Amino acid sequence: DAGVIQSPRHEVTEMGQEVTLRCKPISGHDYLFWYRQTMMRGLELLIYFNNNVPIDDSGMPEDRFSAKMPNASFSTLKIQPSEPRDSAVYFCASSSERLWRELFFGEGSRLTVL
Amino acid sequence: GDSVTQMEGPVTLSEEAFLTINCTYTATGYPSLFWYVQYPGEGLQLLLKATKADDKGSNKGFEATYRKETTSFHLEKGSVQVSDSAVYFCALILTGGGNKLTFGTGTQLKVEL
DSSP chain A: ----EEE-SEEEE-TT--EEEEEEPPTT--EEEEEEEETTTEEEEEEEEETTEEEE-TT--STTEEEEEEETTEEEEEESS--GGG-EEEEEEEE-GGGTT--EE---EEEEE-
Nearest CA to B59 out of B74, B46, B48, B75 is that of: B48
Question: How much of chain A exceeds pLDDT 70, in percent?
Answer: 96
B36 contacts in A (CB within 8 Å)? 103
CA distance B99 to A102: 9
Cα A33 from chain centroid? Answer: 6
Task: Say what the pLDDT of residue B96 is.
Answer: 65
Q: Is B89 part of the contact surface with chain A (CB cutoff 8 Å)?
A: yes
Q: Check whether B48 has a pLDDT greater than 70.
A: yes
The overall average pLDDT reported for chain B is 92
Residue B84, SS3 per DSSP: helix
**Mean pLDDT of the region A79-101:** 90
Q: Check whether A1 has a pLDDT greater than 80.
A: no
Task: Say what the pLDDT of residue B66 is.
Answer: 96
**Mean pLDDT of the region A19-35:** 95
**Per the omega criterion (within 30 degrees of 0), is the bond before B10 cis?**
yes
Q: Hey, which residues 59-88 in chain A have their CB within 8 Å of chain B?
A: none
Q: Which amino acid is at A80?
A: Q
Q: Check whether B45 has a pLDDT greater than 70.
A: yes
Q: What are phi and psi of B27, to 5 degrees?
A: -150, 145
Q: Check whether A98 has a pLDDT greater than 80.
A: no
Nearest CA in chain B to A49: B99
Residue pLDDT, tens place only, B50-105: 999 999 999 999 999 999 999 999 999 999 999 999 999 999 987 666 667 889 99
**Mean pLDDT of the region B102-113:** 93
Distance from CA of B99 to the nearest CA of A (A): 6
Q: Is B96 part of the contact surface with chain A (CB cutoff 8 Å)?
A: no
Task: Say what the pLDDT of residue B86 is.
Answer: 97
Distance from CA of B46 to the nearest CA of A (A): 7
Task: Say what the pLDDT of residue B8 is.
Answer: 85
Q: Is B101 part of the contact surface with chain A (CB cutoff 8 Å)?
A: yes
| Residues A8/A23, Cβ–Cβ less than 8 Å | no
Q: Check whether A12 has a pLDDT greater than 90.
A: yes
The residue count for chain A: 114
Task: Say what the pLDDT of residue B29 is.
Answer: 79
Residue pLDDT, tens place only, A28-84: 999 999 999 998 888 899 999 999 999 999 999 889 999 999 999 999 999 999 999
Q: What are phi and psi of A84, to 5 degrees?
A: -55, -35
Query: What 8-state DSSP symbol labels residue B83?
Result: G
Task: Say what the pLDDT of residue A100 is.
Answer: 63
